[in-house]
A and B are shown apart, each in its own frame.
Chain A
Amino acid sequence: MNIRFISFTAGFVLLISCSKEIMDHFRGFQQPANFPAPVYRMSDNPITEDGFILGRKLFYEPRLSRNNTVSCGSCHIQSSAFTQHGHDVSHGIDDRLGSRNSQAIMNLAWSPNFFWDGGVFDLDLQPIVPITNHVEMDETVENVLAKLRLHPQYPALFKKAFGSEEITTARTMKALSQFMLMCVSSESKYDSVKNGTASFTDAEEKGYMIFREKCGSCHKEPLFTDHSFRNNGIPVGPNNDEGRYLVTLNETDRYKFKVPSLRNLEFTAPYMHDGRFLNLDAVLDHYNAGVQSTPNIDPALVNGIRLQPTERTQLLTFLKTLSDRKFLNNRLLAEQ
């Protein structure tokens, strides 16, 4: 009886995993071994295959914009780790330009807040911002829902994901969250080294030591950000973007921006909140000699970060071990 039951169960499980593997490799949310527990409340939005598929379709859906031309994927391109490569500031509807560089959709399950200024504290509320922003999608959520309700496929997709054809703000946002939560980058060479399946070269190892000494306190492992807001001494931009101050109105937050993750930075140029540095050399030049003493400059950066030419090469060599080509090429995350 027991044995029959176990073998029946095992067979059933095997059958399910086989069919899923063949279909699309959806394996649900996988917690990387070397990552902390997610901060997103997974229990409020359990990720299912149907929810994820709906979220993915919505992510690549231009109907989210006023004239059906711009999707989330327009400014968050997978091959650039879901950033908009080559654009200093994001390029939205009617060729309007934003004021900030589009951020990576990557490892958001571990992010306590969103945007360069941290103005949004819940991933489920995040998509409302680009949808309604005048220079991004310039649409209303109400109108998006109306368009989805009239679409030949969405009511059925919502039914599969949530049990009925009803299309609401909450369901739309939760589906988008399901897709974004699945955008996990945890298979870089760095991760393999941490998981004991690879080892650094000599130059990478030396670069890692430099990183830990000079960069790691803000770009904290394993996510390569401590999710704090800091002023890293870049000169105040021409539009006087005051960063975190705009959200808190706290003087000590003026000119502070979120510390971005360094994962996949090989693919996410340009850099900084306004994309002013076109390559990593320019970034390191800034830390070497360009730090300005603007209000609220981070104490750790007052004297910059000085590197000898060989140290710089070693650091850059290490930083490339954060590239995760599996993430960039994962078909599951691509527009279908």
Chain B
Amino acid sequence: MKTYQQILLLCISSSMLFATCKKEKIEQPLEEPVSGTVEFDNIIGGQNLLLNTVNYSNASGEQFNITLLQYYISNISLRKTDGSVYTVNQDSSYFLVRENDPSTRFARFKIPAGDYDQLSFVIGVDSLRSTMDISKRTGVLDPAGGHDDGMYWGWNSGYIFFKMEGISPSAPVDPSGQRKFRYHIGGFGGYSAPTINNIRKVTIDLKASGIMQARHGRTPNIHLMADILKVFNGANTLSIATNPTVMFSDYSTKVSANYSSLFYHDHTEN
């Protein structure tokens, strides 16, 4: 009996030693991280996007304006020129870009100093976070949003990843008397049964238009353009007349396929 206890004690103490060693290894003096940003600049074709006032037209020949545009960007990671990948701390890697609030177009993060030539992020909210305890859903993930600009579906627990609404003469008159189109795209793949998955990962090479040089005392900015016209004119051609409302439906995957290619790298401000 006594021997067993001694062995047990030995095991515990040695595993503690092991754990301590391991921890110290992780806590080796890291270089202090530096600031960086990615800017999500919404445009439409060759024009700056303006809400409400300007009419645009899509490849289906339909006139429309945009009254509301917002989408989640999450899980940012950057690849260094030496090939190593740095993933931004996940708790600090959720952003909601809202066209009506210019301050939300920057995703701000901390990374180790260095040169980065590739950027990756997710459009939407990953499935893990989509099923996390409510106390882990703070800030832009707080499901308390309002009826119109909220980004959370209560009835079918999950976030709306991409929300775009506008007025178009091609849309039928809705119960509110407006000719409105509504694209509310979400779906993280389901909790207990597989459902639609509109989480889209985007990877952008920065070499052609300028790598990011993260340095102390500066805040480099990767300036991306998001061409919203591609929501209509992408791999799939969307027609407002045919699909004025797309929410939780199989067709939503066509919209997400289109929005996965909205982004291109314009330049980097180092």
Contacts and interface: CB of A to CB of B under 8 A. Distances in A.
B143 A125 contact: yes
A241 interface: no
B191 interface: yes
Interface stretch (B6-14, B80-88, B145-153, B234-242): B145-153
A197 B223 CA distance: 73
A118 to B, nearest CB: 8
Interface string B104-129: 00000000000000000000000000
B190 to A, nearest CB: 7
B51 interface: no
Contacts of A253: 193
Contacts of A2: none
A248 B134 contact: no
Contacts of B134: 122, 124-125, 169-170, 173-174
B140 to A, nearest CB: 12
A41 B143 contact: no
A112 B131 CA distance: 13
A332 interface: no
A140 B147 contact: yes
A155 interface: no
Nearest to A119: B156
Contacts of B131: 121-122
B157 A120 contact: yes
Given A44-B135, A124-B134, A249-B249, A141 B143 contact: yes
A132 B138 CA distance: 19
A334 interface: no
A249 B250 contact: yes
A142 interface: yes
A111 B8 CA distance: 40
B156 A247 contact: yes
Contacts of B147: 132, 140
B264 interface: no
Interface residues of A, number: 33
A142 B192 contact: no
Nearest to A130: B154
Contact of B144 (A129, A145, A247): A145
A179 B133 CA distance: 18
Contact of B192 (A113, A115, A129, A141): A113
A201 interface: no
A292 to B, nearest CB: 25
B254 to A, nearest CB: 14
Interface residues of B, number: 28
A137 to B, nearest CB: 11
Contacts of A305: none
B196 interface: yes
Contacts of B138: 168, 170
A145 B190 CA distance: 29
Interface string A105-129: 0000000110100111110110011
A250 interface: yes
Contacts of B135: 44, 170, 174
Interface string A238-282: 000000001111100100000000000000000000000000000
Nearest to A123: B134
Contacts of B263: none
Given A119-B155, A129-B155, A169 B248 contact: no
A128 B152 contact: yes
A250 B193 contact: yes
A72 to B, nearest CB: 14
B154 A125 contact: yes
A40 B131 CA distance: 13
Interface string B9-43: 00000000000000000000000000000000000
A174 B138 CA distance: 14
Contact of B196 (A115, A143, A168, A249): A249
A119 B137 contact: no
Nearest to A173: B134
A174 B134 CA distance: 8
Contacts of B243: none
Contacts of A246: 156, 248
Contacts of A125: 134, 143, 154, 157
B209 interface: no
Given A128-B154, A174-B135, A142 B195 contact: no
A173 B192 CA distance: 22
Interface in A166-211: 168-170, 173-174
5 contacts: A120-B156, A129-B154, A140-B147, A248-B193, A248-B194
Nearest 4 CB-CB pairs, A to B? A141-B144, A128-B154, A129-B154, A121-B191
